[in-house]
Amino acid sequence: MKRVRKAIFPVGGLGTRFLPATKAMPKEMLPVVDKPLIQYAVEEASAAGIEDFIFVTGRGKSAIEDHFDYSHELQQTLVERNKTKELESIANLLPVPGQVVYLRQQEPLGLGHAVWCARRLVEDEPVAVLLADDLIKSDTPCLKQMVEAYERTGGNIVAVMDVPREHTNRYGVLRPGRDDGRLVEVMGLVEKPKPADAPSTACVIGRYILQPEIFRELDRQETGAGNEIQLTDAMARLIGRQPFHGLRFEGRRFDCGDKAGFIEANIAFALAHPDIGPQAEDILRRFGRELKPAGAAA
């Protein structure tokens, strides 16, 4: 079985849900406390043993490249001012030269298309895909949990979480087979079904380990839900030909593609932050006292 060494980060999306914040800044650079979303995803991949980082970007995303690059001026200034802690905070951002590739998705044709754009860099190896919008707070990084599962099952693995039935139209949804509560056999996948049509409430969260055959399926460039080239549809065609599992990961997932989810993530990460945790707690308590009880008249 080939080890998972490569990861794709689709970061070409426009981030319209966060306008005007994302007019001139990539949504992946939105900070949760003091780190941009994309850095959480890259650190998670790195902790899972990923060695090659492939960013599928688009116009207006150069801040992401700058973030993972050496900033001579900043570095120099911090050294001169003896800002050791600040220096440390940026020291780990530098990938080994040659480990990172940026390529452009020229047209926003969907997640499947973004992943397909990386096909020539992945070649015949398994590959991880991480969507930075899905931020996961856990003891063991989510992708690491998936790699460990992959070492037992092989094939394809998606991160899975149960959601309220009325939300199935936001996700790829599993038709589950054998299920031991943690590892679920995937018998089918549907992208964004209406709640009444959803085969279950077990949904795909933005972490994938995929076999290179996915690219042959994506080669078809067929459009699906929302008239986009869907990764879910390509994955569905691998079922039955290769092992395919969902992993109910340990951890809490925040939907940072959504304003409320993004605020929730900031609160959770602030509370757990070594510098500002106690302050964040005080702030929340104060707000709590000011809030009217749920359901009270305005």
Contact positions vs ligand G1P (CB under 6 A) = 111, 131, 134, 171-172, 191, 203-206, 231-232, 257
Instruction: Rank residues 226 and 278 by Cβ distance to ligand G1P and give the closer one.
Output: 226
Alpha helices, DSSP H, located in the chain: 37-47, 62-67, 72-80, 84-91, 111-116, 119-122, 142-153, 214-218, 231-236, 259-271, 277-290
Tell me the closest approach of the beta carbon of residue 67 to ligand G1P, in angstroms: 22
Tell me the closest approach of the beta carbon of residue 225 to ligand G1P, in angstroms: 8
The answer to whether the CB of 104 falls within 8 A of the CB of 185 is no
Instruction: Rank residues 205 and 218 by Cβ distance to ligand G1P and give the closer one.
Output: 205
Instruction: Rank residues 5 and 17 by Cβ distance to ligand G1P and give the closer one.
Output: 17
Tell me the closest approach of the beta carbon of residue 205 to ligand G1P, in angstroms: 5
Tell me the closest approach of the beta carbon of residue 26 to ligand G1P, in angstroms: 15
Instruction: Rank residues 78 and 210 by Cβ distance to ligand G1P and give the closer one.
Output: 210
Q: In angstroms, rounded to a whole number, what is the distance separating the alpha carbons of residues 146 and 47?
A: 12
Tell me the closest approach of the beta carbon of residue 270 to ligand G1P, in angstroms: 23
Q: In angstroms, rounded to a whole number, what is the distance separating the alpha carbons of residues 232 and 111?
A: 9
Q: Which residues have a Cβ under 8 Å from the Cβ of 16 and sit 6 or more positions away? A: 22
What burial class does residue 261 get, using C-beta atoms within 10 Å of its C-beta: 0-12 exposed, 13-18 middle, 19+ buried? middle
Tell me the closest approach of the beta carbon of residue 68 to ligand G1P, in angstroms: 22
Tell me the closest approach of the beta carbon of residue 257 to ligand G1P, in angstroms: 6
Instruction: Rank residues 46 and 232 by Cβ distance to ligand G1P and give the closer one.
Output: 232
Instruction: Rank residues 64 and 203 by Cβ distance to ligand G1P and give the closer one.
Output: 203
Residue nearest to ligand G1P (CB): 172
Instruction: Rank residues 8 and 78 by Cβ distance to ligand G1P and give the closer one.
Output: 8
Give the tokens for residue 275: 């510098």
Which has the closest alpha carbon to 169: 226, 114, 85, 216?
226
Determine how β-strand 202-210 pairs with β-strand 52-57. unpaired
The answer to whether the CB of 36 falls within 8 A of the CB of 29 is yes
DSSP state of 239: B
